[in-house]
Chain A
Amino acid sequence: MVAGLVTGESITNPDEKFASAGIQLVQARADRIDVQARMVYLADGRQITYDKLLLGSGANPLIPPLAGRDLRGVFALRTLTDAEEIRDHLATANPRRLVFIGAGFISLELAMLLASRQPDGREYTVIELLSHPLPLMLDPEFGKRVHDHLQAQGLTMRMGETVTRIVGRDGKVAGVELASGEQLPADVVFLNVGARANTQLAEASGLRTSRFGIKVNSFLETSDPDVLAAGDCVEKQHFITRKPVPGQLRGPAVIQGRLAAKRLAGYAIEFPGVLNNCVVRLFDRYVASTGLTEEQARQEALETVSATVDSRSKHGMIPGVKPWSIKLVFDRTTGKLLGGQIISEDIAPVKEIDAVNALILGGKTLYDLTVLMCAGTPDCSPEPSLEPISIAAEQALQKLRE
């Protein structure tokens, strides 16, 4: 929408859909919850009683305490309103030098879309504290591939750099200053370095929270039996490490919302935990990951064995073959699959990340994966010798003997 590809209406659900299903809509800010009286107090003075309450209060952009963050021309992207403000600002101010702080997927998608759609002559610079783009998704060698691709597309990638302040002039952004003292001129700055669970309402209501969000059990029930919570506002549990983690991804939010409805209807289905599986398109590359990267696994004191397979989108004899690569990470001790990363030039292979995801959830090992049989035809599968998941598992198996 920021890039002018879609309208706001096209990414929202119409109210009529809910009204026709007999769902009452109330547009107002919820100011307070009295969990004893089971009452929601709205900012406009209205009160609504409930028998069960589901909190989906979402997350807010994480804005680091940088001097200059309130200058005109500094934006964070989270909501439809944010997108509209950015779109309008780009149209009226016509900035030439665009700086993106953070190299996570929201920041990179935004940079990519603007660079793809806007006229030449604009400069796009991405600044990231860590050593490579998409640092929570990818290990360094895959991150380097993304880095080089983005550079080749005209983005200036400044990795391993710390922004110390945003510089202004006459109330408007004029640049950013790095820890080295270097100043980069900027006409607009996008500050997308993460999000933080919105727990204000829950905290004020006396519900248990942590630094990652509202505390819930595996049925999404909060510390009050009549209040459930789901999505970006709740603390998650990582499926592999079983540790509490934040989580602000679309997939878990939708699944948790639907799971909460099932719980209220009497089902006893537990949320399994998150693997943070996600996918992003960056120009003509599709990038996906799930589970732990090798670096993250080592930080968890897991000894790893990994393998990378460079494969093809279809059999080599078929026209239009495009390359793609997959990296699988295993626990060296147990053989269990811990994570996967994919970079593909074709759209279809990137969704193999869902297979990797399912295999992790199923507790599969590299031994299991060596006999994974995939559906195959030359039009959409590589040669059997390049079938990526089983071949990666075989390579990892061989490394265990080295």
Chain B
Amino acid sequence: MLKGEQLVIIGCGGVGAPAAMLARQLMPEVEIVVVREEREFIVR
């Protein structure tokens, strides 16, 4: 992804949280939005 592009992640389980955090590390200049229905991220 390129600088200024937007990544949208839908989900907050085993995929959403680790994907968002690693994406932030690997692509610091990309906008990241996580959409989740649940009130919290789930670890397990």
| Chain A residues with CB under 8 A of B41 | 12-13, 15, 18
Binary CB contact string for chain B from 8 to 19 against chain A (1 if under 8 A, 0 otherwise): 111111111111
User: Which of B13, B19, B39, B44 meets A54, CB within 8 Å?
Assistant: B19
Chain B contacts of A80 at CB under 8 A?
38, 40, 42
Query: How far, in whole Å, are A52 and B27 apart by their CA atoms in the complex?
Result: 13
A242 within 8 A of B: no
Closest chain B residue to A42, Cβ basis = B35
Contact, CB under 8 Å: A50 / B8: yes
Q: Is the interface of B mostly helix, strand, loop or mixed?
A: mixed
Q: A54-B7, A231-B13 are in contact. Are A26 and B23 (CB under 8 A)?
A: no
Closest residue of chain B to A251 (Cβ to Cβ) is B14
- Is B24 within 8 A of A22, CB to CB? yes
Q: Which residues of B contact A258 (CB under 8 A)?
A: 18-19, 22
What is the bound-complex CA distance between A13 and B12, given in angstroms?
A: 10
Decide if A13 touches B40 in the complex (CB within 8 Å): yes
**A261–B22 CB distance below 8 A:** yes
Q: How many interface residues does chain A have, given as a range?
A: 35 or more
Interface string of A256-282 (1 = CB under 8 A from B): 111011101100000000000000000
The distance in angstroms between the C-alpha atoms of A30 and B37, with both chains bound, is 7
Contacts of B34 in A (CB 8 A): 18, 23-26
Decide: B1 and A8 in contact? CB cutoff 8 A. no
Q: How far, in angstroms, from A3 to B20 measured CA to CA in the complex?
A: 31
CB-CB < 8 A to B13: which residues of A? 56, 58, 231-232, 253
In the assembled complex, 16 residue pairs joining A and B whose CB atoms fall closer than 8 Å, in A order, are: A8-B40, A11-B42, A13-B40, A18-B34, A18-B41, A22-B32, A23-B32, A28-B35, A40-B10, A50-B6, A51-B1, A51-B5, A55-B10, A56-B16, A57-B11, A81-B38
Other than the given A50-B8, A231-B14, A265-B23, 13 more pairs (CB < 8 A) read A23-B33, A24-B33, A28-B37, A40-B35, A52-B6, A55-B10, A56-B13, A80-B38, A81-B38, A257-B19, A258-B22, A264-B1, A264-B30
In the A-B complex, list the 3 residue pairs whose CB atoms are closest, starting with the nearest. A56-B15, A56-B11, A253-B14
Which residues from chain A sit less than 8 Å from chain B, CB to CB?
A: 8, 11-13, 15, 17-18, 21-30, 40, 42, 48-58, 79-81, 201, 230-233, 250, 253-254, 256-258, 260-262, 264-265
Residue numbers of B with Cβ under 8 A of A are 1-2, 5-24, 26-27, 30-44
